[in-house]
Each structure stands twice: as structure tokens, then as C-alpha cells.
Structure 1
Amino acid sequence: MDTQKLKAVASRAGLADTYISAWGEPTNVSDTVLVKLLAALGYDTTDDATLEASAVRKHQQDLLAPVFVLRENQQVDITLTLGKSVRVGDFSWSLMTENGETIEGWLESQVIRDTREQDGKLVFRLADALPMGYHQLTLRRKRRKSAFTSTIIVAPVTCYKQTSLQSDEKLWGTTVQLYTLKSEQNWGIGDFSDLMQLVGNVASRGGNFVGLNPIHSLFPANPEGASPYSPSSRRWLNVLYIDVINVAEFALSDAAQQRVGSTEFQARIKAARDAEWVNYSEVADLKMSVLPMLWETFKTRQLAKQTDRAQSFNRYVDDGGMSLLHQAAFDALHAELKNTDDAIWGWPVFPEKYRHFSTPAVQAFIKENQDAVHFYMYLQWLAEEQLSAVQQLATDRGMDIGLYRDLAVGVCDSGAESWADEGALSLDASIGAPPDILGPLGQNWGLPPLNPDYLVKHAYTPYIDLLRANMKHCGALRIDHVLGLLRLWWIPRGDSAQDGAYLYYPVEEMLAILALESHRNQCSIIGEDLGTVPDEIVEPLVEGGVHSYKVFFFETAEDGGYLSPAHYPVQSMSTLCTHDMPTLRGFWHCDDLRLGKELGLYPDEAQLEGLFTARAEMKQKMLNSIRWHGWLPETIGQDALYVPMDQSLSHAMQMHLAAGSSALLGLQLEDWLEMDKPVNVPGTVDQYPNWRRKLSATLDELFARPEINGLCQRLTDVRAKASQYKE
């Protein structure tokens, strides 16, 4: 295939044929990779002629684009692709605003630019400005039966911020992986009732938020598929977080109470609760043996009588529409198939007739198993009901933000969303990261990416629905890998992460929609912008009101020393550690490097030695920074080689960060408990029990500790003082 022609088509498709590596070197993408990715995008790559022909078809411009995305107070100029011989006087237009108002006019009187002779474009001004929201434009031509339609999206310039953030107050909160919470009540996994207790404890100690891992739906029939960052769907919830005892129907079900109250069942709960690691299979078996009993009670006590509670459920099902049906049908079918064959982990190994939602066999299954499908809808409703109650408590307790949720970068290729996909996802590709210093082979996350062409043609509806679903019942949303709004590393299906390329997305439009939905849902935005950050995304994120994500360990100056947290941008969230890092104690004692060696992650001994050396230098520079800013107690030595991570040093580091300028400060409960084991080891699948390690203390024990209550008081005081400081 002709390389120049190939690269020209790739460029029009948004694929970059070069990129800057983690070592700062320009790197070429192979022709083979470009061909495979163009095929994944729907181009015919048989030969040069078919490629060019398919490119012409794909980029054929309609008379009226499917969507226009504008900012608030921007003039509404609509560009048409129109032949120069077409009579402009034949066109009229009408606009239905979001609130139902209709505006009409004739095209000819509002033309502001006609360059059809040069580029086939004609521009007319619809209005000086439109209110924020989603509006529908209809263009009609005489003697043509069907009209041309488009969506006009008008968005604010920046994302929403709570009043306290607008006033430059400095807020703090805790971050936690929900499943790690321990209590005397849960069934071996942190649940929404545990979360409610945590929110209450943090609120009463001056905290303003609790940050969560993604709580997206996973696989009830395959509970060991536990990564919150490889969800079945990002629009629905993980039903294993339901507190069974707290469901209204539990108090009405004698059968459920007898089952749960039995000696054998209580022994199983205690064993699951006392285990150091979450036993997902046991937790799922316990909960899924009782929840069907509650569904039976709901049907007889609520649905049969059409009570208010039943009507609330029916409204939820109606509002959930096809997406909820996709999720519930998938879960019901998966459970049915798993009962007959335990090896069925997802839809790629379903019998052929069941491998897509739209097949006749699946539609027949839904019709014949309506009760099972509705049961999984009921579970989603219960999960949302309990999550909503947590955010309501946060609001009642005066938290400015309450919960902040986490939006994973994609969905796995074996779950409900990809099973029901009609083109929004590119299933012949997955996303990841190119090679870098710590990952010389790159990363392949096994997540099919959103297709940007589909997004535009469907007026960004899948993206809008995704944002709305994840901005429910929270005051902030953290977007994992926010750089993906600009570009994602696409890898042809089945290939290694090295053989990929960056595909660029319509970042301005996606940021605008993010701002609009942020305001609609009164939800501030945190963007996880770690790693190699392209220059072209920095300013749009800042101007768009997205809080940057500042991890203390990574914030170094050109001389290698650590930046003072006082110099972090105000529009940021700062933290010491993340879920992809070792705990504070594990980092300081190099436990992660030793574990990596045991797991075979560093086969090159010289590389490992270099990492140990670099870690020692980092620790010394951190110690120097904390001491220079006056937060290091006199009882702690100045040579990092001989200073262990203990409570005094941990608290000093947290105070050092708390005194900084970031609007938000998030601290991990693991570090309050001085834990050493990580919750996740990047680069591993089976070598380490990722997403299973619990906290080392129950919530009651944690908040009964004087040192933790004292830390919370100091955090509140230091953050209040930082709020008053103005440079």
C-alpha cells in the first residue's frame, strides 16, 4: 500500500503516524498498524483504491452537520455544505429550544457568508446567542419531503464549581476503594451502608468529601472479574455493594431472615468478613442467595399492589430504557449460562446465538425470562437507592461535595456494554499506553474505545448519557485518564501495546459537553492527568475548569527537587498516593520494588538497582522539602536512609500537603492506618490479588483511634489556614 496515501487517510481519520516517546524521541507508527486501525474505524483497507474510496465515503459531508457545539453567548453560525447552483431561497428553518420554544425563519435573509464557489460552504446566522442546553434545528427545502436535522449544543465556558470552591476555600476528604471497607455488619465486602458510616465520620471531623473507586457494574455471574477499571458497563452500578439487610424488603421476608439468621449462614458471613482479602465468589454467593427472596417479596408486597414503592421502581425502569434492559438481560443470560458451564466468563464464549443483544435468540430469552431480567433491574434500583441515600446524608451533614465518583476510561470487551454495542465502540481495537520507562512493553488495557465518528454522527449521545449516569448522587466526578478526551492510544485487537497509535478526539466539543453536564448536575470535575501530558490539552483543561490531579511524589522541579505544595495550581486536587501506587509506607520502605522483583516484573537486575537508587534519592529530596517548609518534627532525622515511615513522618507529609494551595486534598485511609500492602500492582493479572486487599481495621476501630481523630482536626485547621492565605 502506498505509504503517503495511507498516511493522508490516517491523518483525516485522526490517527497520528508519529508520536513523542516517553524518552522524548519522535517515533514512527508502522504502516501495518495504521492499516489495522483504519480497518477498525471502518475503512476498506483491501488496497489503495478501496482505501481512498472508503475515505471519500466516510468524509462525505452532509448538507447539514449532525451536531454543532457552541459556548454560551457565542453567535450561532450554521455552516451548510451546499452546491453553488442550489437556490438559497428554497430553504426555511425552525429551531425547537430545549424548553419547547420554537423559532422560525428563512435562510436567504440570514446568510452572512457564501463561499460556495471556493469551498462549497454557506454560513447563516441563526441567532446572536442561545440559552445553554440541547436544541433541535430543522432545515426544510421546497419540494423535498424529508427535512435536514441537527442538534445544537450550547455549553458554559467552564465546569461547575461549588460555592466554597469559587470562594477559594481549601477542602479535604478521604479516598477509598469501597470494597476494602471493613465493618462489623458487612458480608465480607465494603457496602453502601459502610460508605454511609464513613461519610458520617468524615463529615463530623471536618472533611468535605469521600472519593470512591469506580463503582460501575461488574459481573454478578463471574464475581472474580473484580477490576473496577474493567467494568461490564459504565452506566450502571456494582450490585455487590448492596447492603442486603438494609433493603426494605428484608424486614418483610421471613424466608430471607431465616436464611440469614441461620447458624451456618452467619458462620459464612463471619468467615468472609474476617478474611484479609475480599472473597468475591463467596460474597456473591451469599448475597445472591438472599436477594432473589427479596425480589419475591417485592413482587407480592409492592408490585402486585402497585404501591408508591412499586411505582418508583416502574419509573426507574422506564427512565433506564434500553441501556438498563441491556444490562439486566446480559446479567440474567450470563447467570443462566454460567449455571450450565462454569467456564463462561463473558459474552465472547457465549454460544454463538447469544453473542449480541440483537439476536433472535437473545430476544426470545428476554421474553421467556422476564422475571429474571426484571430481578436484575431491581438490583440496579436497590443499588442506586442506597447510593442516593449516602449522598443525601453527605448533604444533610454539610459536606460541600459529599461523594466524588470515578469514571473509568473504558469498558471491558466481554461485558454488557460491548455485548449490546451498535457501533459506539470500536471492538476491533483496545486502548492502553505506549512503552515508557517503567513499562517498556507498554500497556494494553483490553478496553474497546469509543468511536469518534459515531459520537459526532449521533450528536455525542453515548458520551452525554455516560456523563449523566456518573454524575448522579455525587458532588464531583474524577475522570480517569482525562487526556483521553484529546487522544487515546489505540491498539489493533490481539496485538501488543507497542504496536499502537494515537487517535485524536474532538476535544473542544467533548470538554464543552462535560461543562454543560457538570452544571446540569452541579458536579465539579477532577481530571486524572498523570503521565505524559500533551501541551495542547493543558490550556483547555485549565480554561475548562477541570481540576488537575497532583500526586506529591511526581511533582518535581527541573532541578529534581520537590515543588512546594503552595505552588500547586489552585484548580487541582492533591494527594500523596493513588490506587495504582504502593501505600505511603510501602513506597518509603521500597516494598513495591521488592514485590515487583518477586513477581518477575523487573527481569533486568540493573533496571531494578536503578529504581532502588532513584527511590533513595526521591526520599531524601522529599525529606528535605518537608523539613525546609517546617513540617518535619525535630524527633525525625534528616538522613532518609535511616528514617523509617512511622506515624510522625506520615502525618508530617500529610500536613505539608494540606498547607498547599490545591483546592482539594484527598488522603487514603490505607495511609492513615499505616498499611504496607498495595491494593493493585499495575502490570499484573494473576501474579497478585489485585482489587481484593481490605483495610486493616474496621470503621469503628479506625475512628476510635485518638491519633486519627487528632490528624483530622489538624487537617481541618491547616486547610482553614490555607484558605485564608493569598499570595
Structure 2
Amino acid sequence: MMGSHLDQLAKQHGISLMRPSPDNVEVPISDETKRQVLAALGVDERSAVTQQKQPPPKAIPQSYLSETLEQGGVWGISLQLYELRSKRNWGIGDFEDLIGMTRLCSSLGADFVGLNPLHAPFLADPDRCSPYEPSNRQMLNPLYIAVDKVPGFKASPELERRLRSLRETDLVDYVGVAEAKLTTLREIWRSQQASGSDTADSEDFQNFVQAGGDVLRLHALFETLSAFMIKRGNGAGWKGWLVEYRTPDSPEVAEFAEAHADDIRFHMWLQWLAHLQLGKAAEAALDARLKIGLYLDLAVGEAMDGSATWSERDAYISDVTVGSPPDPFATAGQDWHLAAFHPDQIASGKQSPYRRMVTAAMRYAGAIRIDHAAALRRLFLVPLESAPDGGAYVNYPQHKLLQILADASAEYRCVVIGEDLGMLPEGLQDDLAEAQILSYRILSYERGEDGFKPADAYPRLSLACISTHDHQTLAGWWRGADIKARAEHGIVPPHVSATHLDQRKHEREELKLVLDEAGVETPHRLPSAANDQKLRELVVSAHRFISKTLSVMVAVRLADMTGEKQPTNIPGTSDSYPNWKPKLSLPVEELANLLLVQEIADVMQQERPWSNAGLQLSERS
């Protein structure tokens, strides 16, 4: 009887009683998991089960769809901002480099620049560099500030030598970059105050601070406390701090804030600079006549011990992390170490946490991508100290979240893309299509029982691409580098890797077949160990195919255009691979002269200008 009550209580609070196994078979979650997740949601196990009437279904709210997409297919270049090399940056791509990329895209006929999440990291611990595990999604990353473009900047010979060293590394030296940038920005800040030209007194900055309110102030306070704690041997995240500093409303925190008012204002100034420079890049994209402009990515959550969870504790579930259940490519499941919004709080209030988070990106963007769009309906939550197979799916208020996206996208005239990959709840893709949220289609995933799907099988209301930050380039995929990497890093057992390598032989043949059927010429005799020249021809052919799809948007990954050998990220690894650090092999200034860049751009120009005239919404799924 107790089990029955527990099941009913779990179902009442949106907890699924089943989860997938590595063999894609549904298995029941344990009673212990139910108890742990209920407790994390703040539900007493002894609570009475109440009968709740199901409200009648409501019409699905529709997000903004630009006239540009109504008129015909567009394409753009996606990249990781930090990976950009240039002759002037400080060892990490920055907002000035982004302006350079908007001009390059314009010259190539592209319509948008797609970027990794630009959310605020842990400045006091720069090596916590994953853009998908940020400290706060409402704030920007100050490491992307182009310091040489900040009024009052003066270079010294010693600094120039240091910057040359930072530029020459093949991996972003986040610690070195942070030290150089924050030290120099602090000097500018102090110099302006001493000279009486303090930007902290400017009307624009004052308005920015006022508009930011408590969210901005608490983030700046967090950053100041985080740096203070690091110097004393504690962690950058609040869970490693002294107990009296773990909540922002304690007397000790109030006393600290009063004593460090200048430091707090400095961190608000950094956010203002980042805001100004990203805004300038967005304007540059419009000036360059990019039809979409900037396309920004939203991480699915924030770090458990970051600024967001510290300053808005009640908005998050504290005793679980976001992850994914076991599947064939991660047989033990995954723990993403991300905090989840509480289902009861995520959409509450006029300025709900979700609304504030999405508009923080939409204000600069012509399109946003929602990472892990399944979170619009459910998240897989793993109790702390449990393995991922001890987690459970928990439902979220889908209609309310879609309404927020519809309202915000209309206000900012911003297209919404949903990363609808992996294990999706039944009917979600149909709901997203009805909501005018673009589906996210990756070439290697678009396969059915008969092999790769033809170009005309891609839904019109979608973004198509060949690879992403979580994948090898197409050349790497052809060579099986992704399978070998998963084996080398122990993500999947050897026998599974052997099966995947055998499958890849068939996948290569199927890819050539679908290209041939689409009338795309492919190189003959292309073995798995083909040389770069042969693979370059294949890469061009694959992009011609993807440009022929019905998808209204196509994203070309810059790493595919430059033939990068090092992957951006190997999912499932942490210390064994330098995720989020590899730079491009060429600087921004040389990209326009690269033959592969020109060839892919020519393919896109030839194939993309087609018309959507007369297309009905019902035809877009």
C-alpha cells in the first residue's frame, strides 16, 4: 500500500515512474529515487494524494517567425567565440573578433553568425570554462570584452609580450587570459576614477545598473565574494564557502558588501562593457545586412554552486542535478552537474526566471537556440550522491514556457530554435512545430531504417547542419574519430566501440548513396583513412546536400570549413580532454582566403535562394 501511495504522490508531482535503459527498454525507477526527488521538490512523503482535474487543452502559443524565413532559405556560420584567433585579440576570441566575423559572413553571402552560450562563467576560477555549465545565464562573460577597445586602454611593452604569448597557444589559456584582462580592466577602472572621468558616474552606466536591479547587484556581489574566497583557499562556488556566506541575505554578507562596494561596482561595470560590446556586434551584423544577425545559444541550466543558484535559491531545486538516463552512447547515463529550475517557480510571475533568462539573450539576437529542448516538457533529475541511473524524469509546465517564448520572441523579433535531439517525450516535436519553434537537424542523426533521409524529408521549419560542438567535424566522423575518442576515454566499453566501428562502415556507404540520389557528386574510392584533399571534396558535397534540404535555416560549422582535427568537446569527458579550449588553426584575418571556406560559401549561394512563397504553417512540420 505504501508503494501505491508513493507512486501516486510521485505522479501527482510530475515524476515519471519509468526511465530508459541502455537497450532503450523502459525500466521502473526505485522507491528510493521517488523519495529523493519528492524531497528535492519540497514534497513530504506523508502528504495526501489529491485528485486533480486535467484542464482542457489550450491552443499552443506560436513563437515569432521572421518574414526572412517566410521568403526563402537562409544560411550562416556557427562557431565558438573563444576559439577565434586574430592578430589583435588576447588569446581568446572576443566581441571585436565577432564584428570581424559578421563582415566575413556578409562577404560570403551568409545570413547569421551562430555562437556558443555567452553566459557568465566563474571569473575567479577561469578553468571552469564550459559555456554549458555557466554561473549565471542572465549575465554575460566578461572574458569576451575586447579590452583594447575600452576607452582609457593603454598598452605597455610588457603587456604586449604577454599577449603575444597568449595568442600563440593552441588551447585557450583561460587562467592567463583572465589575469591579463581583469588586471588591465581594473587598472582602467581605477585610472578613470582618479582622473575624474569615472564611467561609473555616466548616465548610461547608472541606467544600466538601475535596470539590472538586484539580479545584477547580487551577481556582482557573488563575483566579489568568489574572488575573496579563492584567495583564502576556498572554492569559487558558494558550496565551498564558509557557511555564513552561503546565503546573500546574511549579516556577514551585508557587512562584506559594504566593505567591498568598489569591487562590486567594478563587476557591474564589466557587465556593462560586455553589454555595450555585444550590442555593438549585433548592430554590426545588421549594418552588414545579415538577414538574421546573431544567433545565440542558451544552456539548459547553470552550475549548482554559481551566481544564479546563490542569488535566487528559491527558483532552483537544490538537491538534484540535471542529467540524462543511460543510452547506447553513454551506457552509465550522464550527470551534467547543472541546477534545474523548480517546476513551480520557473514560469511564476510577470518577470519569471525563465522569461528573464531567455530575454537576456533575445535582446541581442535574431535567433536563439534552446539547448535540450526536451526541458520544455521534462528534465531528467539525478539526486545528489546518486549515479545517473538513479534519476527520474520530472515534468515542467510546457504551455507556460511556450507562452513565454512566444511573447518574448514577438517582442524582440527573435526566431526560436529547439535542440530536439536524443530521447524526446512523445509528441514534443509536433508541439514545437505547432509553436513555430524550429527543429534542429544534424546530418548524421537524420537516418531511418533505409539509411540517411533524403533532402526533401527535412522539415521546412528546421535548422539543418552537418556537425556541432559535441561532434567531430564531418571529416572526423568519416574517419571514425568520434568512436575512437569515446573508446579512448572509456565512455563506452570496447565491445560497443567495435560494433559502432562496424556500423560506421555501413553509414559511410549510406551517406554516399543519399548524396548520389540527391544529384550531388562525391569523390570515388574514398576509404575511411582518406587524405585531406579527398575528404575536402566530400565535405563540399555534404554541404551541397544539406543546402538542398527543405530546412529554412542551414548552419555551417566553422570548424568544418577550416578542417579542424581537434574536437571542441568530447561529451562524457572532463579532465581527460581539454574541452572548450581548442582554438581554430587559422586566424580570422585569413579565413576569407581559405579555399574550403569559399567553396562551401559558393555551394550555399547556389542552393539556398529558394522561395517559401505560399507555404502554409501546416506544411512546415
Q: Aligning the two structures, in what range does the TM-score lie when normalised by the shorter sequence?
A: over 0.9
**Cα distance in 1, alignment partners of residues 52 and 540 from structure 2:** 60
| 1:708 counterpart residue number | 597
- 2:367–2:417 contact (8 Å) kept in structure 1: yes
Unaligned stretches of 5+ residues in structure 2: none
| 1:508 counterpart residue number | 399
Cα distance change on mapping 1:243 and 1:305 into 2, 3 Å: closer
% identical equivalent positions: 32
**Cα distance in 1, alignment partners of residues 398 and 285 from structure 2:** 33
Mapping of residues 242-641 of structure 1, within 5 Å:
242-250=145-153, 257=154, 260-262=155-157, 264-300=158-194, 310-341=202-233, 343-455=234-346, 458=349, 461-559=352-450, 561-602=451-492, 604-633=493-522, 636-637=523-524, 640-641=527-528
Residue type at the aligned position of 1:320: G
**Cα distance in 1, alignment partners of residues 174 and 199 from structure 2:** 36
Cα distance change on mapping 1:70 and 1:456 into 2, 3 Å: farther
| 2:572 counterpart residue number | 683
- 2:61–2:402 contact (8 Å) kept in structure 1: no
| 1:148 counterpart residue number | none
**Cα distance in 2, alignment partners of residues 306 and 5 from structure 1:** 58
Say if 2:101 is the partner of 1:198: yes
- 1:327–1:417 contact (8 Å) kept in structure 2: yes
Say if 2:552 is the partner of 1:649: no
**Cα distance in 1, alignment partners of residues 357 and 199 from structure 2:** 34
Cα distance change on mapping 1:707 and 1:456 into 2, 3 Å: closer
- 2:229–2:236 contact (8 Å) kept in structure 1: no
- 2:515–2:545 contact (8 Å) kept in structure 1: yes
Cα distance change on mapping 1:371 and 1:663 into 2, 3 Å: same
1:218 to 121, 124, 130: 121
- Residue aligned with 2:452, SS: coil
- Residue aligned with 1:202, SS: helix
Cα distance change on mapping 1:305 and 1:187 into 2, 3 Å: closer
Cα distance change on mapping 1:162 and 1:724 into 2, 3 Å: closer
| 2:69 counterpart residue number | 165
Number of positions where the alignment pairs a residue of Structure 1 with one of Structure 2 = 613
Cα distance change on mapping 1:316 and 1:305 into 2, 3 Å: closer
Residue type at the aligned position of 1:166: E
TM-score (norm 1): 0.81
- Residue aligned with 1:581, SS: coil
Cα distance change on mapping 1:246 and 1:535 into 2, 3 Å: same
**Cα distance in 2, alignment partners of residues 503 and 454 from structure 1:** 14
| 1:141 counterpart residue number | none
Cα distance change on mapping 1:521 and 1:302 into 2, 3 Å: farther
| 1:208 counterpart residue number | 111
**Cα distance in 1, alignment partners of residues 290 and 218 from structure 2:** 35
- 1:637–1:643 contact (8 Å) kept in structure 2: no
**Cα distance in 1, alignment partners of residues 487 and 25 from structure 2:** 29
> How far off is 1:624 after superposition?
1.2
> How far off is 1:640 after superposition?
4.8
Cα distance change on mapping 1:710 and 1:187 into 2, 3 Å: same
**Cα distance in 2, alignment partners of residues 435 and 375 from structure 1:** 44
> How far off is 1:386 after superposition?
0.3
- 1:69–1:512 contact (8 Å) kept in structure 2: no
**Cα distance in 2, alignment partners of residues 358 and 233 from structure 1:** 19
Cα distance change on mapping 1:459 and 1:390 into 2, 3 Å: closer
- 2:70–2:612 contact (8 Å) kept in structure 1: no
> How far off is 1:249 after superposition?
2.9
**Cα distance in 2, alignment partners of residues 302 and 480 from structure 1:** 45
> How far off is 1:628 after superposition?
2.1
**Cα distance in 1, alignment partners of residues 535 and 200 from structure 2:** 58
- 1:659–1:722 contact (8 Å) kept in structure 2: no
**Cα distance in 2, alignment partners of residues 685 and 702 from structure 1:** 30
**Cα distance in 1, alignment partners of residues 544 and 140 from structure 2:** 35
Residue type at the aligned position of 1:595: A
Q: Which moved more, 1:416-425 or 1:376-385?
A: 416-425
Cα distance change on mapping 1:715 and 1:302 into 2, 3 Å: farther
- 1:69–1:509 contact (8 Å) kept in structure 2: no
> How far off is 1:605 after superposition?
2.3
- 1:186–1:243 contact (8 Å) kept in structure 2: yes
Residue type at the aligned position of 1:587: W
**Cα distance in 2, alignment partners of residues 555 and 711 from structure 1:** 21
Residue type at the aligned position of 1:606: H
What RMSD, in angstroms, separates the aligned Cα atoms of the two structures? 2.3
**Which consecutive aligned stretches of 4+ in structure 1 deviate over 6 angstroms post-superposition?**
68-71, 722-727
Residue type at the aligned position of 1:576: I
Residue type at the aligned position of 1:598: E
Say if 2:76 is the partner of 1:179: no
- 1:591–1:676 contact (8 Å) kept in structure 2: no
- 2:19–2:393 contact (8 Å) kept in structure 1: yes
> How far off is 1:638 after superposition?
5.1
> How far off is 1:455 after superposition?
3.3
| 1:6 counterpart residue number | 6
Cα distance change on mapping 1:313 and 1:302 into 2, 3 Å: farther
- Residue aligned with 1:4, SS: helix
- 1:619–1:640 contact (8 Å) kept in structure 2: no
- Residue aligned with 1:399, SS: coil
**Cα distance in 1, alignment partners of residues 197 and 80 from structure 2:** 35
Structure 1 residues 358-378: Cα deviation after superposition (integer angstroms, max 9, x where no partner): 211111111111100000000
Residue type at the aligned position of 2:204: S
**Cα distance in 2, alignment partners of residues 662 and 614 from structure 1:** 27
Q: Which moved more, 1:704-713 or 1:241-250?
A: 704-713
- 1:216–1:237 contact (8 Å) kept in structure 2: yes
Structure 1 residues 653-685: Cα deviation after superposition (integer angstroms, max 9, x where no partner): 111101111000001111111112101011111
Structure 1 residues 358-416: Cα deviation after superposition (integer angstroms, max 9, x where no partner): 21111111111110000000000000100000010111111111101111000001110
**Cα distance in 1, alignment partners of residues 605 and 421 from structure 2:** 27
> How far off is 1:227 after superposition?
0.5
> How far off is 1:429 after superposition?
0.7
- 1:620–1:640 contact (8 Å) kept in structure 2: no
- 2:543–2:603 contact (8 Å) kept in structure 1: no
Say if 2:117 is the partner of 1:233: no
> How far off is 1:510 after superposition?
1.0
Structure 1 residues 613-646: Cα deviation after superposition (integer angstroms, max 9, x where no partner): 011111111011112222124xx11565575552
- 2:135–2:305 contact (8 Å) kept in structure 1: yes
